[in-house]
Structure 1
């Protein structure tokens, strides 16, 4: 199986004032508890006009948190043929395709992580999870938390693109989630904290442009930006004119390994093996 790694941020937000005024505000939960509660329940959501369903399978409680396991499934309709006795008459069959999903709610120094199985017949993990967390945020506006998800990527692929298109890159975009919970120390951290404290921004975008392709992308600030975004703190794009030559959202860090059975989440031993491989403290 191939799993993509993603970073999930649970950002503290204000509870609607009307709930505070009426005393109907829910009890405040920790970040880890909120994630555990959310992913312990069935979730039906829309992705590009199609209905998808998240089904929880297990919650494995660990000394310092929990790993929630489940699957995200999409319904498929395909044309097949009936039996020879039925003259191979064409018919439409409806079935489901599902991808494994695991979220480690433990408090890492660098935030919580998600691993989702790659299945082309279900969809791209980052795109699906953006739709899922958008739905979660919409139906949990009184939770005191807002979720955001970004891909964890390989830093080397960014620098390979910089080298390949040296002297041609006209635009570099860095989009950051705030505040920084990754434990990375740089000047960017202070700047992002300022945007969060002063303007209450939960996302900040920085754009560097030079129409002649003379951008200097070897500065310390760019190195810090790549470090931050590659760990799931945001996203990065490079352009040559109108052409996108690098997009971190298409560069999800992944791991491939075999399991004892096709899916490996129902059996406790198999599930523990997957968790140990995917999430290392």
Structure 2
């Protein structure tokens, strides 16, 4: 487990004292978010938890920016990192139910696995495309112009389960309008300020980590 913080500068406009006739000045402060990286390679894969602070930015955007930087700095490593949200499949199926009869497109983008240990049909297919064809990602699109797309099948459920664990992205559309995007439905864990303060001690930090990752 790696624990740290990531921050960004925030520029504020303030005023000096009466001697300067309250002249304006720009101040730079920093806002920071806690970061927890669970890299033990459990069956759920490697996971990252980032504290949401509006002035710092969306956690998935921060993480993907970090991953992009690492990949560009290591072009000859022979591997490429990828980051997707861990979502809840119930949100996907709720969107399917809500928009039944209007869904024209269902698109999956899968990242080739190298961590997940449980083997699903989706994982086996994506891994084979990686090993035999060199695919770093795989995109599947289901389309029905009349909006009569029915996502409820055993294979699609397997795809959704893979996405749910962070293996990719699922998008539902009605024409050009996005009805659902799993990347915007990341799982979140509400944490009280008291728990953050308690995490300054080893025992409190261990409890916080268990709450975040459920393990």
User: Do the structures match in fold with TM over 0.5?
Assistant: yes
Structure 1: state its 5+ residue gaps: 1-66
Q: Distance in 2 between matches of 1:206 and 1:77?
A: 43
Deviations 1:165-198 (A, max 9, x none): 1010111110111136434443223321220111
Corresponding position of 2:73:
139
* Structure 1 counterpart of 2:46: 112
Residue 250 in 1 paired to residue 187 in 2?
no
- The answer on whether the counterparts of 2:103 and 2:174 sit within 8 Å (CA) in structure 1 is yes
Q: CA deviation at 1:141?
A: 3.3
1:157 aligns with 2:91: yes
* Separation in 1, partners of 2:54, 2:78: 35
Per-residue deviation, 1:142: 4.3
Is the 2:113–2:167 contact (alpha carbons within 8 Å) kept by the matching residues of 1?
no
Residues 88, 267 of structure 1: CA spacing in aligned structure 2 closer, same or farther, 3 A cutoff? farther
CA contact (8 A) 2:104 2:149 kept: yes
2:65 match: secondary structure: helix
**What's the offset of the Cα at 1:264?**
6.3
Structure-2 residue corresponding to 1:207: 141
3-state secondary structure, aligned to 2:48: strand
Q: Distance in 1 between matches of 2:214 and 2:18?
A: 53
Which of the residues 21, 26, 30 maps onto 1:96? Answer: 30
* Structure 1 residue 86: Cα displacement: 4.7
Looking at secondary structure, tell me which structure has more helix per residue.
2
Asked whether the 8 Å contact 2:123–2:162 carries over to 1, the reply is no
Partner secondary structure for residue 149 of structure 1? coil
Whether 1:218 and 2:170 are equivalent positions in the alignment is no
**Alignment length (residue pairs):** 215
- The answer to whether the Cα contact below 8 Å between 1:111 and 1:182 also exists between their aligned partners in 2 is yes
Query: What is the match of residue 122 of structure 1?
Result: 56
Structure 1 259/216 Cα, relative in aligned 2: closer, same or farther at 3 Å? same
Judging changes above 3 Å, is the alpha-carbon distance between structure 1 residues 100 and 263 closer, same or farther for their aligned structure 2 residues? Answer: farther
Using the TM superposition, give the Cα deviation of residue 275 of structure 1 relative to its aligned residue in structure 2, in angstroms: 1.6
Cα gap change, 1:180 to 1:160, in 2 (>3 Å): farther
Aligned residue for 2:142, secondary structure, equals strand
The runs of 5 or more residues in structure 2 that have no matched partner are none
Higher relative contact order (CA 8 A, sep 6+): 1
Alignment of 1:1-281 (within 5 A): 67-83=1-17, 86-179=20-113, 181-260=115-194, 267-281=201-215
Q: 1:262 to 1:183 in 2, by over 3 A?
A: closer
RMSD of aligned C-alpha atoms? 2.0
Residues 142 and 249 from structure 1, CA distance in 2 versus in 1: closer, same or farther, beyond 3 angstroms? same
CA-CA distance at 1:263 after TM superposition: 6.4
Contact 2:41-2:115 at 8 Å conserved across structures: no
Cα contact 1:175–1:235 (8 A) shared by 2: yes
Per mean C-alpha deviation after superposition, the further-off stretch among 196-205 and 79-88 is 79-88
Which of the pair is proportionally richer in strand?
1
